[in-house]
A and B are shown apart, each in its own frame.
Chain A
Amino acid sequence: MKFTWFNLMPWPFLPDDFRQRHRSVWVDIPNTLYDPRRGHFVYHQYMDQLEYADRLGFDGIGVNEHHQNGYGLMPSPNLIAAGLARRTSRAAIAVIGNSIALYNPPIRVAEEFAMLDVISGGRLLAGFPVGTSMDTNYCYGQIPALTRDKYAEAHELIMRAWTEDEVFAFDGKYNQLRYVNCWPKPIQKPHPPIYIPGGGSIETWDFCLDHDYNYSYLSFGGYLRGRALLQGYWDRVAARGKDESPYRAAFAQIIAVADTDADAEKLYAEHILYFFNRCLHVYPGFADAPGYRTVKTIQSGALSQLTEDMQRVFTKLTWKDLVEGGYIIAGSPETVRQRMEEMIRGLRIGHVFCLFHNGNMPDEKTRHSTRLFAERVMPHLRDLWPEWKGDDRWWCKPMEERLRPEASLGGGTPS
Chain B
Amino acid sequence: MNFRWIETARGAKVRVFEGGRGTPLLFLHGAGGLLAENPFLEQLAQRYHVLSPELPGYGESTGETLLEDMLDFALHGWDVAEALQLEKPHVVGHSMGGMIAAEMACLAPRDLGKLVLAAPLGLWIPAAPVPDLFALLPHEAAQVLFHEPARGTALLTGGLDFRNLEALRDFYIGNVKRLGMAGKILFPIPNRRLAKRLYRLRAETLLVVGRSDRLVPAAYVTRWQELIPRAQLAWLDAAGHMLPYEEPEAFVGAVSHFLG
Contact = CB atoms under 8 A, between A and B. Distances in A.
Contacts of B230: none
Interface string B164-206: 0100110011011111111110011100000000000000000
A223 B187 CA distance: 35
B169 A144 contact: no
Interface residues of A, number: 23
B137 interface: yes
Contact of B175 (A284, A290, A303, A307): A290
Contacts of B176: 290-291, 293, 295, 298
Contacts of B136: 285
A284 B136 CA distance: 9
B173 A291 contact: no
Contact of B169 (A141, A290, A302): A302
B127 interface: no
A262 interface: no
Nearest to B177: A295
A132 to B, nearest CB: 14
A293 B179 CA distance: 12
A145 B137 contact: no
Contacts of B182: 290
Given A138-B188, A299-B173, A291 B135 contact: no
B179 to A, nearest CB: 3
Contacts of B188: 137-138, 141, 143
Report, as a range, how many residues of chain B touch the other chain.
Answer: 20 to 34
A141 B190 CA distance: 12
B187 A306 contact: no
Interface in B135-175: 135-137, 140, 165, 168-169, 172-173, 175
Given A141-B188, A144-B187, A285-B136, A290 B179 contact: yes
A284 B183 contact: no
Contacts of B181: 145, 291
A306 B184 contact: no
B184 to A, nearest CB: 6
Contact of A306 (B64, B169, B178, B189): B169
A298 B135 contact: no
B172 A289 contact: no
A170 interface: no
A285 B189 CA distance: 16
A145 B180 contact: yes
B124 to A, nearest CB: 13
A290 B132 CA distance: 12
A397 B188 CA distance: 41
A220 interface: no
A144 B173 contact: no
Nearest to B168: A306
Contacts of B68: 146
Contacts of B175: 290
Contact of A284 (B137, B184, B189): B137
B134 interface: yes
A279 B90 CA distance: 53
A219 to B, nearest CB: 21
Contacts of B140: 285
Contacts of A291: 176, 179-181, 183-184, 187
B191 to A, nearest CB: 12
B173 A302 contact: yes
The binding surface of chain B is classed by DSSP as: helix
The binding surface of chain A is classed by DSSP as: helix
Contacts of B64: 145
B132 to A, nearest CB: 8
Nearest to A305: B172
A319 interface: no
Given A137-B187, A285-B136, A303 B165 contact: yes
A146 B173 contact: no
A286 interface: yes
A122 to B, nearest CB: 39
A283 interface: yes
B11 to A, nearest CB: 18
Question: Which has the most chain B C-beta neighbours within 10 Å: A144, A145, A295?
Answer: A145
A290 B173 contact: no
B173 A289 contact: no
Contacts of A285: 132, 135-137, 140
A386 B5 CA distance: 61
Given A284-B137, A295-B173, A290 B180 contact: yes
Interface in A355-412: none
A118 B140 CA distance: 51
Contact of B187 (A143, A286, A302): A143
Contact of B183 (A145, A286, A295, A306): A145
Nearest to B140: A285
A284 B135 CA distance: 8
Interface string B114-146: 000000000000000000101111001000000
Nearest to A141: B188
Question: Which has the most chain B C-beta neighbours within 10 Å: A295, A299, A307?
Answer: A295
B181 to A, nearest CB: 7
Contacts of A137: 134, 187-188
Contact of A286 (B135, B178, B180): B135
B153 to A, nearest CB: 17
B186 to A, nearest CB: 9
Contacts of A283: 135
Interface string A254-298: 000000000000000000000000000001111001111101001
Closest 5 CB pairs of A and B: A291-B180, A290-B179, A285-B135, A145-B180, A141-B188
Given A141-B189, A289-B187, 15 more contacts: A137-B134, A138-B135, A143-B183, A144-B134, A286-B135, A289-B134, A289-B183, A290-B179, A291-B176, A291-B181, A292-B180, A293-B176, A298-B172, A306-B172, A307-B165
21 contacts: A137-B188, A144-B180, A144-B183, A145-B181, A283-B135, A284-B137, A285-B132, A285-B136, A286-B135, A289-B135, A291-B176, A291-B181, A291-B187, A292-B180, A298-B176, A302-B169, A302-B172, A302-B173, A303-B165, A306-B172, A307-B165
